[in-house]
Amino acid sequence: EAQVTQNPRYLITVTGKKLTVTCSQNMNHEYMSWYRQDPGLGLRQIYYSMNVEVTDKGDVPEGYKVSRKEKRNFPLILESPSPNQTSLYFCASGTDYEETQYFGPGTRLLVL
Amino acid sequence: KQEVTQIPAALSVPEGENLVLNCSFTDSAIYNLQWFRQDPGKGLTSLLLIQSSQREQTSGRLNASLDKSSGRSTLYIAASQPGDSATYLCAVMDSSYKLIFGSGTRLLVRP
């Protein structure tokens, strides 16, 4: 089944403890991206990747890192999480930036 | 900076009514516009994608139009059903390869 998977789906952590949210797609998509969704602020793009080893900042990249070492995986790294990074995170992928973007199920993160 | 606006923010209609959701964007330099549906606590489901060179796309009871020059798109839902109740989001892929979302329209279709 063609899909975008994220792990974990729910995470509670404490300030400063490094964490990684994984994202994987099995559709051989080149374009992948991360978003956060917050009440009143909507969905905002954090980072995107056009292909392996090609990443760029979205609108809210501060406090996040990404890597794209393989085409199928695009992990989101929070090296020192803070409470203002409590949010619902989505990963997405598409054949390229001109095609339909498919979203993962989301990861709900709480930083205490 | 690209900004995407959706009106209305919320809409409540009786079952069977035809309805229109609106989306506007400030910069016409886009690659495409996509409409999504989001159910409470769930991920986003893609409904329709309109390339910048296209005027409209249709899928079942859904029809989306795009007027790039005026920065507007509409999503038309025919013969609405309670199962259509969800939040509808539009997003544009802008010239810097970023996907920019509107704040959504929350739709309730009453039986």
Q: What is the pLDDT of residues A17-67, one digit of tens each?
A: 999 999 999 999 999 999 999 998 999 999 999 999 999 999 999 999 999
**Res. A72: pLDDT tops 90:** yes
Residue A91 in contact with partner chain B when CB distance is under 8 A = no
Query: Cα–Cα distance between A108 and A58 in angstroms, integer?
Result: 20
Position B20 scores a pLDDT of 96
Minimal C-alpha gap between B101 and chain A (Å): 6
pLDDT score of A1:
81
Residue B41: band (very low, low, confident or very high) from pLDDT cuts 50, 70, 90: confident
* Average pLDDT, integer, range B72-96: 96
Does A100 reach chain B within 8 Å, measured CB to CB? yes
Partners of A43 on chain B (C-beta within 8 Å) are 89, 91, 101
**pLDDT (0 to 100) of residue B42:** 86
Is it the case that residue A81 has pLDDT exceeding 90?
yes
Given A44, A98, A104, which is nearest B43 (Cβ)? Answer: A104
pLDDT (average), residues A93-101: 92
DSSP, collapsed to helix, strand or coil, labels residue B43 as coil
Q: Is the pLDDT of residue B11 over 90?
A: yes
Distance set, CA B92 to CA A14, A81, A97, B35, B84 (Å) = 35, 29, 10, 9, 22
For residue A99, the SS3 value is coil
Task: Kindly state the average pLDDT of the residues A96-105.
Answer: 93
Whether A2 has a pLDDT exceeding 90, the answer reads: no
CB contact under 8 A, A98 and B93: yes
The average pLDDT across B92-106 equals 94
Report chain A residues whose CB lies below 8 A from the CB of B101.
Answer: 35, 42-44
Phi/psi for A99 (5° steps) reads: -115, 175
Across the interface, whether the CB atoms of A101 and B99 are under 8 A apart is answered yes
Instruction: Note whether A101 contacts B46, CB cutoff 8 Å.
Output: yes
